[in-house]
Structure formats: structure tokens, C-alpha cells
Amino acid sequence: MDHPYDTTEHIKNKHLNYDDRMTIQLRLQDGWSPYRIAKYALSCAANTVRNEIRRGTVWLYHGKVPRYKAKSGQIAYSTHRANCRKQYQTLEKGRFLRYTTQRFQEDGWSMDACVGRALQSGFFSREEMVCTKTLYNYVDLGIIPIKNIDLPEKLRRKPTKRHNREHKKELGRSIEERPSSIESREEFGHWEADLVIGAKSGDDMVVLTLLERKSRNLMVLCVANKTAAAVMQTFKQLRNYYGTAFGHVFKTITTDNGSEFSRLSELESAAETLVFYAHPFSSWRRVPWNDIMD
């Protein structure tokens, strides 16, 4: 329900912000009660406003007049939040941490082995221990006398996931510029290109596939390697094979934004062929599944 006195909109289940504290300060100057401020101005619990007034109240005029100040309340809030964090359990779980350090240094156990053996043997209860993840966090923070360099498996693994760039540059003409008539598959000469790499071995096998949209004819060509120069060389050989008819057979070629196709747009200057690139990470837009299955 909207109220004519609202000056800000407080989000429920969220801490008060500086705008909320300014609302409290102004409404107190207008003579509003904490209950009225909570109900009609902030839409929060009345005790929330009362507690905020208590924290942000300062004494003016030589300590004779109490008055709530939004700035003082914000400073008190920031001070409390700076000390609000999860406390480490080094004191409560000190005996288990010493046990882990000893087993690691003397027997060469891993962090997970220390946790598992402590539970299996019954030396420690679950409440007296920390989990394996916490042990590794303590190693990172230097809380226990074990260094990351002493954990070869941890240094060898790379748990950080690889992130793709959000705004990857497109190589040439976008697929959005491709005529919509191509989607109907009524005209011959519109091809979809892709590169297939064989099993990883001494000599990798790289194959260029070309699928014609109307006839569904598939052309498979061997490529020397997965480089832009090798792919372009294969297309040059294909152009020499068809000669002047190349532009009529290959009216358009649509491919993804892989680096191996970065030079494919050079065909536009050598023939009448137009090259279109799908959006980054959206190569599925080239050939819809129903186009292949029909």
C-alpha cells in the first residue's frame, strides 16, 4: 500500500541504508513516533527503527539534548559490520589442528586423510574437528604451520574454471545480415562450414565439412592443421577446382567465430561468395536441428 509520506522504499529483510536513516532523522524532526516511521515510511519492524535510533543518538548542547543523527547511525553500522565475520575455530579445534599438523609432517598424510582417519579411529568427534575444505583454507591463510608448497597435489591442480570472454569480437559479416530467404532452403548454393578435429595423437586429423542447405550434400575436405592459413589454403584449392563457377556454387558460407575461420572473409574479395559468422558462443544458429532432420 502506498502512503503519501513515503520518501524512500526500504527492501524487506535487508539492512537499513543511509537513505533509510535520513528518513528516520527527518521524520523524528516532524514528531513521528518510531512505530509510525516503521509502518508508513520504511515498511519494517518497529523494533528495527527503535534500535537504529538508540545506536545513532548523540548528545548535543553539552550532553543535555539527545538527538538522532543519520550520519552517526551510519558510522555505528559500518563499525559493527567491519567486525562481523565468521570466527576461526583455532582455539576450540586446536587439538585436532595439532593432530593434523603432526600426521602431515611425520607420516605425510593429506588433509583429507587426516580428517577421515580421525573420524574412523574415533580419536575426535565431529564437533571437535573441521572439514577438509576448512583445513585447506587454514593452509592458505597461514593459520596452521603447513605451506601450499608442501602440498604438491594442490599446486598441480587448477580448480579455477576457465571463463569465456563476455564480449568476444566477431570476425566479419554477422549472421544477422544473412538474407532471410536462405532459411527457406529454396535456392542452391548456401553452405554451412565447420572444422572437425580427430583424436589427439601424434598427427592430428583435421577435416573441413561443408553442408549445402537445400540439397543436404556434405563435402568433406582434409586440412593440414587447425590454423587460419591451412583452412584458407583448402578453400583456395576448392576455388581453383571450380574456377569461375565457384561463386555460383558457393553463394554464401556461414561458419562460427573460431580463429581457424578468421581469414575466410578474404573469399569475398576473390569471388562473389559472401561469408557470414554466427554470434560468439552461438554456433548452433548456423543449422537448426530441424533443417538436418527434415
Transcribe 191-227 into DSSP letters.
Answer: EEEEEEE--SSSS--EEEEEEETTT--EEEEEESSSS
**C-alpha pair distances (Å), 8 with each of 21, 24, 39, 73, 260:** 10, 11, 13, 17, 55
Q: How far apart are CA 149 and CA 161, in angstroms?
A: 22
Q: How far apart are CA 223 and CA 236, in angstroms?
A: 12
| Torsion sign, CA atoms 139, 144, 148, 153 | negative
pLDDT per residue as tens, the chain (294 positions):
444 444 456 666 688 999 999 999 999 999 999 999 988 888 888 999 999 999 999 998 888 889 999 999 999 998 888 777 666 677 788 899 999 999 998 988 888 899 999 988 888 888 888 888 888 888 888 888 888 888 867 666 666 666 555 545 556 788 888 888 888 888 999 999 998 887 655 456 789 999 998 888 999 998 988 888 999 999 999 988 988 888 889 999 998 888 888 888 888 877 788 888 887 765 555 554 445 445
Degrees, nearest 5: CA angle 84-85-86: 140
The per-residue pLDDT for 163 is 57
Specify burial of residue 185 (Cβ count, 10 A radius: 0-12, 13-18, 19+).
middle
Q: What is the pTM of this model?
A: 0.41
Domain residues of the chain, as ranges? 18-82, 94-153, 175-293
The per-residue pLDDT for 281 is 63
**C-alpha pair distances (Å), 218 with each of 194, 210, 211, 272, 292:** 11, 6, 5, 21, 11
The per-residue pLDDT for 290 is 45
Q: Does domain 175-293 have CATH number 3.30.420.10?
A: yes
Q: How far apart are CA 29 and CA 54, in angstroms?
A: 15
The per-residue pLDDT for 286 is 58
